[in-house]
Amino acid sequence: MRHFIKCYVRHCVICAVKKTRTGPLQGFVHPVEIPKEPFHTLHLDCLGPLPVSTDGYKHILVIVDSFTKYCILMPMKSVTTAETREKLETVLSLFGTPKRVIMDAATSFKNTTFPKYLENWNIEHHYVTPDIHRGNGQVERYMRTIRNLLRIETRVKAEWPSGLWKIQLVLNTTVQKSTNLTPLQLLLGIQSSTPLIQALLKNVSKDLSSIRNRDLDRQRVAEKLSSTRDLNDVNKRRRDNVQYSPGDFVLMHRDSQMHISKSDYEFLGPYEVVNCLDNGRYEIKKVGTNIVTKAAKEQLRRWPIQWALNVDMNEVLDFLESESDSVEREDRSSGEKCVESVAVVRKAV
């Protein structure tokens, strides 16, 4: 009976699509390989839409170097692939081609022409799983800071692009907690600051800038980043005991589409698992469509398919037969009726 009730509860579709996630998340965290040189790995993302400027700009292309944390902000009028490629070419002309680019699955990045463009330059590209923001955390970390600085620096909403250079300077001359150096210092080996700080230091007779070895700084930063990547504490609070195979049906949790109201669904679906990828990622297809998307194991929940009725119902009938034996000893006539009823049901099953 316990097994039957457990299967019955799992079969509830309403509970499966509306109940929130509880307990440890499924799937361990697998970090991206740490580069040991500047502009080896770039993280891309678009911020916006923002208020339309006088020049027609509505978005910001944010590019962050994974090693130095150097940030580049470029205003964009649209998020088309053509304009994104044009802005990226400006960066490539300054710093050369990176080995790898990490980005989300936005239309401007996912368009077939953009990956082909990167492949022509022999640049490896990687798309993070939708709604798993930590996969592109290097650039996501900057987003809130950039929004706050835009509110502070912008007096007129339509003139926000004119302050981007100052925001970029502030970000690149601020000491990073993960490296203990500024991105500009780690990239070029020079100490710099904002115009305000420079003005305050004009009256200081002693030169406060120290002579540093850029290569030694980069070596120390690479060692520091490697030592701080211990994910044992993170994975200790997670589990990896649920496995999905091609052909399984699942529901998918999507944060970006949830919480419009308290009665909305927490999970969407059903989806069919079509391929198992590395690091707890799956390619899933919405049932009835040909649209394939990528999802992490922590986003998935098994679709409550009706269990094998002939197997579980037999267990229930065995239970009823055992009960009928005890009833038969107490009341012979009622027990015979119970056994006959069980026989009829078993024959139907």
pLDDT tens for residues 79-121? 888 899 999 999 999 899 999 999 888 878 888 788 898 999 9
Whether the predicted pLDDT of 199 surpasses 60: no
Q: pLDDT band at 71, cuts 50/70/90?
A: very high
Angle at 300 between CA 295 and CA 305, to 5 degrees: 130
Amino acid at 223: E
Task: Check residues 269 and 171 and name the one with the higher pLDDT.
Answer: 171
What residue ranges do the domains of the chain occupy? 2-27+243-302, 41-227, 309-348
114-125: burial string, b at 16+ Cβ within 10 Å, e else: bbebbeeeebee
- Sequence-distant (6+) residues with CB within 8 A of 32 are 41, 66, 102, 135
Angle at 177 between CA 100 and CA 96, to 5 degrees: 25
Tell me if 293 sits within 8 A of 304, measured CB to CB: no
pTM tops 0.85, yes or no: no
pLDDT tens for residues 226-277? 765 566 677 777 888 888 999 888 988 876 554 454 456 788 878 999 999 8
Residue 141 confidence (pLDDT): 84
Whether the predicted pLDDT of 135 surpasses 50: yes
CB atoms closer than 10 angstroms to residue 15: 11
Question: Do 2-27+243-302 and 41-227 fold alike per CATH?
Answer: no
| E strand map for the chain | 25-26, 41-47, 59-65, 71-76, 100-103, 124-127, 238-239, 249-253, 267-276, 281-286, 292-296, 300-302
Residue 335 confidence (pLDDT): 43
Domain 41-227 in CATH 3.30.420.10: yes
Domain 2-27+243-302 in CATH 3.40.50.920: no
